[in-house]
Chains A and B, each alone.
Chain A
Amino acid sequence: MTRAAPWLAAAAAMIAVAFLLKDFGYYSDQYRKLMLWVALALGFNFLFGIAGQVAFSHFAFYGIGAYAVVILTFKAGLPLGVAVVLGLALCAVLAIAVGIAATRLEGFYLALATMAFAQLFLVVLTEGGAVTGGAGGIANYRLPALELGGRRFTLTGPYYTSLIALVLLATFFVFWRLDRSYFGRACRAIRDNPEAAAAMGVDVARTKIVVFTVTSVLAGAAGMAYAFVDNIVNPPVFGLENVFLLLFMVIIGGSGRHAGAVVGAILLYMLPYVLTPLIGHHQALVFGIVMVAAMLFRPDGLVGVYDRLRARYGRGAA
């Protein structure tokens, strides 16, 4: 019970915020997107920071999830539940295929193959004709009503925001648990030294594929949640720039640490609000500078800075 308490408290707090913001449409919308970014950053952190895979396909899977649920529900006419399951299965199948192919490649070639995959996905979206809606994407759909015990209801407003909060928490929970298990240690071991990891009995190729698949499927799940935030899916939302942004979030926050992913995602998502009055829409300039500075001076990111400060000053206070 005590172990579940923090999770329940977090859920309660996040849902409370959802209801507090219910009359502020813009902020509610930003809150939803922020939570989705945090979920994506957590997954990307597990993939890049913990398992050491530089894969640029994370955002593509977010897009695959979003498009899959929309196409299966509104173009193929499947029930939402079926569409969700099929969509996740599609993410898993694609991830396994890319993962198997990519583990044959060493080092940075994984990044290149996944980058090519992500770009190819965008081309397919843009040229997909009636199925994907082309460059304009698909719009004008609404989350279908759910049937539970004979009663129909639709998740709207703060209820849908709460659902996103639960998706985020579930994502966090999965990665948190995995990280604290032998599986997470095997991932870190592969990141630090694949040869030694194999000598300890870790099946390096298999573990890499599993990590890639799990993180990609969860990115797909977040994408499904996103599909009903703006009620439109179109190619530019899933561009390559976004995965760079995820990379910046994770590195600036502190790669390999869940807290780092959360802090980095929140910071980089919120920063434009502060920066826009100062430099217009050029916040990426600041991101780039902070990124370079992080690589040069603090590769362990803000969480590392925090640890250091606490080690130096915090003992007495804490």
Chain B
Amino acid sequence: MSDILELLVSAASSGCIYGLVALSYLVMIRPTGIINFAVGEWAAVGLFAAFFLLTNRWLPLPYALALIAAVAFTGLIGWGTQRIAVRPLVEKGAPILGPILALLGMLAIFRESISLIFGPDPHNLPAPFGLRQVSLGPFAGTPRDFFIIGCTAAVFVGVWLFFERTVWGKAFEAVALNRKAAALMGINLRRVTVAAFVGGAAIAGFAGVLYSLTAPRDFLMGLPLAVQGFSALVVGGVGRVEGAILGGMILALAEQLTARYADQIGIPSGMSLGVPFLLMIVFLLARPTGLLRPKEAAA
């Protein structure tokens, strides 16, 4: 029983990271329709920026401040990415595939730049807390797991409040629902695109920072994380913030259950790596809207 509860905590913490990456996609897809596979590289940017800020000798920053600065820096990178690879194409009236492909080019640029600057070795952030086991009620896990879960919960609540409670969140939603009507309200479409990319990048950067707490990561970490995050999004549904975290949790749980128990039914435990792809294929074919349908479909 405690075994299961421990698995739940560790699944929840990796589910949080998938959920954050899924959220990063979602924030950009909703108003612009652009699927940006460079989110994984953004996560790497966040991680390596945090690593740099925490380990350099010239500018020693307190831990929390370094993380915040790294996330802000990733947001800035998001703005630059948008400015270079998205806005010129959108304003030229290129089909949506144009920015998606240009962003694949950006992906290569980010990845190689990181490898150029930081080398091919894996890095991880110094752990903020010890690695001892702690218990929270019946749940046992490392402080790291609870830190990840807490931070993710905060981000999701924040983003959820933004969409549900602020007029700018409503404006995002309005652009997603009906671009032309949104423009008639006076919503600045260009500014919404910028906000989506800056916000998406910051969320991805934060996911990267948290991701590095669980294990050392190298410059190649981006694409696998991007694919897993996208699987989470497909499972949870592209329409709603809650879908991203739900998808992330389901995905992580399925992965960890396979890793732990597949051996017992004769499947190599490494097959758990295939779980996201299997889930993605199943959901694409059987339920392309994901578990949570967007509100317009429910209305």
- Can you report 18 A-B residue pairs in the complex whose CB atoms are below 8 A from each other? A105-B285, A109-B288, A116-B280, A120-B274, A123-B270, A123-B271, A123-B274, A240-B227, A241-B223, A244-B107, A282-B116, A284-B112, A285-B112, A288-B105, A288-B110, A289-B109, A295-B105, A296-B102
Cβ-based interface call for B159 (8 A): no
A102 vs chain B, min Cβ distance (A): 9
Cβ-based interface call for A247 (8 A): yes
With A295-B89, A296-B85, A296-B88 known, 4 other A-B pairs at CB within 8 A are A123-B273, A284-B112, A290-B105, A295-B85
Beta-carbon contact of B271 and A244 below 8 Å: no
Q: Which of A271-300 contact B (CB under 8 A)?
A: 279, 282, 284-285, 287-292, 294-296, 299
Chain A residues within an 8 Å CB radius of B288: 105, 109
Chain B residues within an 8 Å CB radius of A248: 105, 108
With A127-B271, A282-B116, A299-B98 as given contacts, are A288 and B106 in contact (CB-CB < 8 Å)? yes
The chain B residue with its CB closest to the CB of A245 is: B108
The chain A residue with its CB closest to the CB of B262 is: A127
Cβ-based interface call for B234 (8 A): yes
Chain A residues within an 8 Å CB radius of B60: none
The chain B residue with its CB closest to the CB of A251 is: B101
- Measured in the bound complex, the distance between the Cα atoms of B102 and A248 in whole Å is 10
A250 vs chain B, min Cβ distance (A): 10
Chain B residues within an 8 Å CB radius of A104: 285
B275 vs chain A, min Cβ distance (A): 9
- The binding surface of chain B is classed by DSSP as helix
Chain B residues within an 8 Å CB radius of A296: 84-85, 88-89, 102
- Measured in the bound complex, the distance between the Cα atoms of B235 and A116 in whole Å is 13
Query: Which of B94, B100, B113, B281 neighbours the largest number of chain A CB atoms within 10 Å of its CB?
Result: B281
Interface residues on chain A, size class: 35 or more
With A117-B281, A119-B277 as given contacts, are A285 and B268 in contact (CB-CB < 8 Å)? no
Cβ-based interface call for A101 (8 A): yes
- Measured in the bound complex, the distance between the Cα atoms of B112 and A290 in whole Å is 14
Cβ-based interface call for A189 (8 A): no
The chain B residue with its CB closest to the CB of A110 is: B284
The chain A residue with its CB closest to the CB of B108 is: A288
Task: Report A's interface with B, CB cutoff 8 A.
Answer: 54, 101, 104-105, 108-109, 112-113, 115-117, 119-120, 123-124, 126-127, 129, 240-241, 244, 247-248, 251, 279, 282, 284-285, 287-292, 294-296, 299
Chain B residues within an 8 Å CB radius of A123: 270-271, 273-274, 277
The chain A residue with its CB closest to the CB of B281 is: A116
Query: Which of A108, A279, A287 neighbours the largest number of chain B CB atoms within 10 Å of its CB?
Result: A108
Query: Which of B35, B100, B274 neighbours the largest number of chain A CB atoms within 10 Å of its CB?
Result: B274
The chain A residue with its CB closest to the CB of B228 is: A119
With A108-B100, A109-B284, A247-B104 as given contacts, are A124 and B112 in contact (CB-CB < 8 Å)? no
Q: Which of B12-46 contact A (CB under 8 A)?
A: 35
Q: Which listed residue, A126, A285, A287, A292, touches B102 by the CB 8 Å rule?
A: A292
A317 vs chain B, min Cβ distance (A): 32
The chain A residue with its CB closest to the CB of B84 is: A292
Q: Which of B195-235 contact A (CB under 8 A)?
A: 223, 227, 230-231, 234
Task: Report B's interface with A, CB cutoff 8 A.
Answer: 35, 84-85, 88-89, 94, 96-98, 100-102, 104-113, 115-116, 223, 227, 230-231, 234, 268, 270-271, 273-274, 276-278, 280-281, 284-285, 288
Beta-carbon contact of A112 and B85 below 8 Å: no
- Measured in the bound complex, the distance between the Cα atoms of B101 and A295 in whole Å is 8
B80 vs chain A, min Cβ distance (A): 12
- Measured in the bound complex, the distance between the Cα atoms of B37 and A244 in whole Å is 12
Beta-carbon contact of A116 and B108 below 8 Å: no
Chain A residues within an 8 Å CB radius of B96: 108
Chain B residues within an 8 Å CB radius of A282: 112, 115-116
With A120-B281, A282-B115 as given contacts, are A292 and B270 in contact (CB-CB < 8 Å)? no
With A112-B284, A292-B84 as given contacts, are A127 and B102 in contact (CB-CB < 8 Å)? no
Beta-carbon contact of A129 and B268 below 8 Å: yes
Beta-carbon contact of B106 and A285 below 8 Å: no
Chain B residues within an 8 Å CB radius of A127: 268, 270-271, 273-274
The chain A residue with its CB closest to the CB of B109 is: A288
Beta-carbon contact of A120 and B278 below 8 Å: yes
- Measured in the bound complex, the distance between the Cα atoms of B116 and A248 in whole Å is 21
Q: Which listed residue, A108, A116, A119, A129, touches B97 by the CB 8 Å rule?
A: A108
- Measured in the bound complex, the distance between the Cα atoms of B107 and A241 in whole Å is 11
The chain B residue with its CB closest to the CB of A128 is: B268
Chain A residues within an 8 Å CB radius of B109: 285, 288-289, 292
Chain A residues within an 8 Å CB radius of B107: 244, 288
- Measured in the bound complex, the distance between the Cα atoms of B115 and A240 in whole Å is 18
A179 vs chain B, min Cβ distance (A): 21
Beta-carbon contact of A113 and B284 below 8 Å: yes
Beta-carbon contact of B268 and A284 below 8 Å: no
With A126-B273, A292-B84 as given contacts, are A112 and B230 in contact (CB-CB < 8 Å)? yes
Chain B residues within an 8 Å CB radius of A244: 104, 107-108
- Measured in the bound complex, the distance between the Cα atoms of B101 and A291 in whole Å is 8
- Measured in the bound complex, the distance between the Cα atoms of B88 and A116 in whole Å is 30
Beta-carbon contact of A291 and B105 below 8 Å: yes
Chain A residues within an 8 Å CB radius of B273: 123, 126-127
The chain A residue with its CB closest to the CB of B35 is: A108
Chain B residues within an 8 Å CB radius of A54: 97
- Measured in the bound complex, the distance between the Cα atoms of B103 and A251 in whole Å is 13
